[in-house]
Amino acid sequence: MAFTAKILLLGSGELGREFVISAKRLGCQVIACDSYAGAPAMQVADGYEVFSMLDGDALKAAIHQHRPDFVVPEIEAIRTETLAEVEAHGVEVVPSARATMMTMNRDAIREVAAVELGLRTSRYRYAESLEEVRAGAEHTGLPCVIKPVMSSSGKGQSTVRNANELESAWTYAVANMRGDRQRVIVEEFIPFDYEITLLTVRTRDGVLFCPPIGHRQERGDYQESWQPTPMSAKALADAQDMSRKVVDNLGGYGLFGVEFFVKGEEVIFSELSPRPHDTGMVTLISQKLSEFDLHARAILGLPIPEIRLYGAATSAVILADRESDNFRFEGLADALATTGAEVDVRLFGKPTTRPYRRMGVALARAETVEEARRVAAEAAAKVRIVYDKG
Ligand X SMILES: Nc1ncnc2c1ncn2[C@@H]1O[C@H](COP(=O)(O)OP(=O)(O)OP(=O)(O)O)[C@@H](O)[C@H]1O
- Nearer residue to ligand X within complex by CB, 185 or 375: 185
151 binds ligand X (CB under 6 A): yes
Q: Minimum distance from CB of 281 to ligand GAR (Å)?
A: 9
Enumerate the β-bridge partners of residue 304. none
State which H helix or E strand residue 271 sits in: strand 266-273
Q: Mention every residue, 6+ apart, whose C-beta is less than 8 A from residue 370.
A: none
14 is in an annotated binding site: yes
**Distance in angstroms (rounded) separating the CA atoms of residues 292 and 389:** 37
153 binds ligand X (CB under 6 A): yes
- Nearer residue to ligand X within complex by CB, 4 or 217: 217
Among 29, 152, 197, 283, binds ligand GAR (CB under 6 A): 152
Task: Give which of 164, 106, 105 is closest to 137, Cα–Cα.
Answer: 164
* 115 neighbors 128 (Cβ within 8 angstroms): no
* Of 6-14, 47-55, 184-192, 295-303: span binding ligand GAR (CB under 6 A): 6-14
Among 4, 217, 223, 240, binds ligand X (CB under 6 A): 217
- Nearer residue to ligand X within complex by CB, 149 or 366: 149
* 31 neighbors 49 (Cβ within 8 angstroms): yes
Which residues are part of the catalytic machinery? Answer: 152, 154, 259, 271, 278-279, 358
- Nearer residue to ligand GAR within complex by CB, 338 or 353: 353
Sign of torsion, CA 305 19 252 115?
positive
11 binds ligand GAR (CB under 6 A): yes
- What binding mask, one character per residue, do residues 260-299 give for ligand X by CB under 6 A, x or -? ----------xx------x---------------------
16 binds ligand GAR (CB under 6 A): yes
What residue type is assigned to position 184 of the chain? V
Sign of torsion, CA 124 130 132 138?
positive
Q: What backbone phi and psi angles, to 5 degrees, belong to 375? A: -70, -40
- What binding mask, one character per residue, do residues 221-260 give for Mg ion by CB under 5 A, x or -? --------------------------------------x-
**Distance in angstroms (rounded) separating the CA atoms of residues 324 and 347:** 16
Task: Give which of 51, 44, 41 is closest to 13, Cα–Cα.
Answer: 41
Report whether the peptide linkage leading into residue 274 is cis, meaning its omega lies within 30 degrees of zero.
Answer: no
State which H helix or E strand residue 291 sits in: helix 291-300
Binding positions for ATP are 106, 147, 152-157, 187-190, 195
Name the residues that contact ligand X, by CB under 6 A: 122, 145, 147, 151-154, 157, 187, 189-190, 195, 217, 220, 259, 270-271, 278
Name the residues that contact ligand GAR, by CB under 6 A: 11, 13-16, 74-75, 152-153, 278, 350, 357-358
Binding positions for Mg(2+) are 259, 271
